Structure 1
């Protein structure tokens, strides 16, 4: 049986379930672009209605880090943009419009307008980049006969688009978006459905993700191991992913072996 070899130990597995954003593709490249476009359009639309959203609260709205020019440079791994569903994000933004004086209907219409603008921008620019070492790791998994799936808080159709833009959709036998289950992360529903689609038991599957929601989903589903991908600046901050069994900076620290015992 194949083994996932991590710095903290080896685990016999037959499948790996990957989160998408921040795990397969670089989070800021995709969602930083989307967030900048959405928030920029959101503030402009409010101004056209004689309303002003306090600039100092923009970062806390979705859990993003901005530079002096307003560009998104990082994100809170346990914040809404990283862990929330798209419906969560739209509700957060709609609530802000309502607090500023719009009716709930007007606020929802404004958010929908901003969503359309941001989605058009993404389709045009397709700002997706793989995490370092990912393609080598995926090739190694396939060569060793490990079944692969994606479990994402994004909606399935959007996730499949992003995988296709990145040119890696063929690696995955299942793509499970939050729209396919009753409960998203940190609940086990997506992991359990992915295992069912792959024909494996949860105890034979590893979960790799970049938020503690991924780690808690893995625990709740009874996965063999929960592996957290953390950037070099975050790897020493255990509190970011307290439920991870293993923390790595990149895929260079992971490999696939064979259990010869």
Structure 2
């Protein structure tokens, strides 16, 4: 929802990146899973007598499912339902499709981009508001886990995006400063988290589900648009 990043200081400037590491979101960046999730939310709401299309629900993505569910309760007048009950209902539909469809596919151009980053000596990690088990499953199915030094799921920090905690924890583990990190995000909440962490933020628009990411330092529609040497030039 517009304004989800309020309460967190968004440190945006016009500087160029100085990348020692690139930090990736998971859903909508590594794979295009957000359409599936929002479709499952839409269908679940229908069972509760509520109508909402995928585009109407796009503002929800980029944070953890508990925060999403609390927002759904407010926006669709579901206060009579328990949060855990609503979470179980959403997950039942999403997991049935997501885990049942077989092999997952990475975003177009992602693997080639990871190869270029590795060849250039730029470190990589994943920081996602999704559960750790889910993130690990995705990396395994996409066969890209070897590229990343680690992957952080929601359980690793106190606050989910749009708070900067996940990215700050990733920087702490990598022993780098915020201005040495580049964050790649696709959601409004994720961009807000990256900016609040002090990183250089690239908004990636390769997902079917598009959001307002106008706060990012730069916007790209494919990984081919991101020049690795450009990321390193100010080191």
Q: 1:182 to 1:136 in 2, by over 3 A?
A: same
RMSD: 3.2
The reply to whether residue 91 of structure 1 matches residue 70 of structure 2 is yes
State yes or no: 1:229 paired with 2:204.
yes
Contact 2:110-2:223 at 8 Å conserved across structures: yes
Cα distance in 2 for residues equivalent to 1:178 and 1:18: 14
Unaligned runs of 5+ in 1: 1-7, 47-52, 67-74
- Cross-structure match for 2:26: 20
TM-score normalised by structure 2 residue count: 0.78
Which of 104, 110, 113 is the aligned partner of 1:137? Answer: 113
From the superposition, tell whether residues 139 and 38 of structure 1 become closer, same or farther in structure 2 (CA, over 3 Å).
same
For normalisation by structure 1, the TM-score amounts to: 0.71
Residues 145-156 of structure 1 aligned to structure 2 (within 5 Å): 145-156=121-132
| More contact order relative to length (CA 8 Å, sep ≥ 6) | 2
Greater displacement, 9-18 / 147-156: 9-18
1:4 paired residue number: none
Give the corresponding residue for 1:3: none
Q: For the Cα contact (< 8 Å) 1:15–1:205, is it kept in 2?
A: yes
Q: Does the Cα contact within 8 Å between 2:183 and 2:201 map onto a contact in 1? A: yes
More strand by share: 1
Structure with higher Rg: it is 1
2:63 aligned with 1:65, yes or no? no
Point out where structure 2 has 5 or more consecutive residues left out of the alignment: 1-13
Shift of 1:195: 1.0
